[in-house]
Structure 1
Amino acid sequence: MLDTHCRKYIQPIIGYGAEFFIKCKLSANQVTVLALILGVSSGIFSYMNMPFIALGVLWISGYLDAVDGTIARRQGSTDFGTVMDITFDRIVEISIIIGLSLRHPELTAYFLFLACSIIITMTIFLTTGLMTSKKSEKSFYYQAGLAERTEGFLMFSLMIIFGTYLKIIVLVFTGMILFTAAQRFLEAKQLLSK
Structure 2
Amino acid sequence: MLDPLMRRLIDPPLNGLARRLDRAPFGADAVSLAGFGSGLAAAATLALGQAHLGLALFLCNRAADGLDGALARQRGATDRGGYIDIVLDFIIYGLMALGFAIRDPAMAALPAAFLLASFMGTGSSFLAYAILAGKHGRSTALRGAKSFYHLGGLTEGTETIIFFLLCLAEPGWFPLLAWIFGALCWLTTLGRVIAGWRDFS
TM-score (normalised: structure 1): 0.93
Aligned match of 1:113: 114
SS at match of 2:113: helix
Once the two structures are superposed, residues 117-138 of structure 1 have per-residue CA deviations (whole angstroms, 9 ceiling, x without a partner) of: 1111111111110011212321
Whole-angstrom CA distance in 2 between matches of 1:23 and 1:84: 22
Matched letter for residue 161 of structure 2: F
Deviation at 1:157, TM superposition (A): 1.4
- Asked if 2 retains the 8 angstrom alpha-carbon contact of 1:21 and 1:27, the reply is no
Tell me if 1:57 matches 2:57.
yes
Whole-angstrom CA distance in 2 between matches of 1:97 and 1:42: 11
Aligned match of 1:178: 186
Deviation at 1:20, TM superposition (A): 4.1
SS at match of 2:22: helix
- Asked if 2 retains the 8 angstrom alpha-carbon contact of 1:40 and 1:91, the reply is no
Give the paired residue count. Answer: 193
Deviation at 1:77, TM superposition (A): 1.6
- Asked if 2 retains the 8 angstrom alpha-carbon contact of 1:43 and 1:95, the reply is yes
Tell me if 1:13 matches 2:17.
no
Tell me if 1:129 matches 2:130.
yes
Matched letter for residue 146 of structure 2: K
Whole-angstrom CA distance in 2 between matches of 1:22 and 1:66: 15
- Asked if 1 retains the 8 angstrom alpha-carbon contact of 2:6 and 2:158, the reply is no
- Asked if 1 retains the 8 angstrom alpha-carbon contact of 2:19 and 2:74, the reply is no
Tell me if 1:80 matches 2:84.
no
Gaps of 5+ in 1: none
Once the two structures are superposed, residues 24-50 of structure 1 have per-residue CA deviations (whole angstroms, 9 ceiling, x without a partner) of: 222111111011011111111111222
Matched letter for residue 128 of structure 2: T
Aligned match of 1:97: 97
Q: Percent identity?
A: 25
TM-score (normalised: structure 2): 0.90
Gaps of 5+ in 2: none
Whole-angstrom CA distance in 2 between matches of 1:36 and 1:114: 21
Whole-angstrom CA distance in 2 between matches of 1:83 and 1:62: 17
SS at match of 1:131: helix
SS at match of 1:10: helix
Whole-angstrom CA distance in 1 between matches of 2:156 and 2:95: 18
Whole-angstrom CA distance in 2 between matches of 1:110 and 1:52: 20
Tell me if 1:139 matches 2:147.
yes
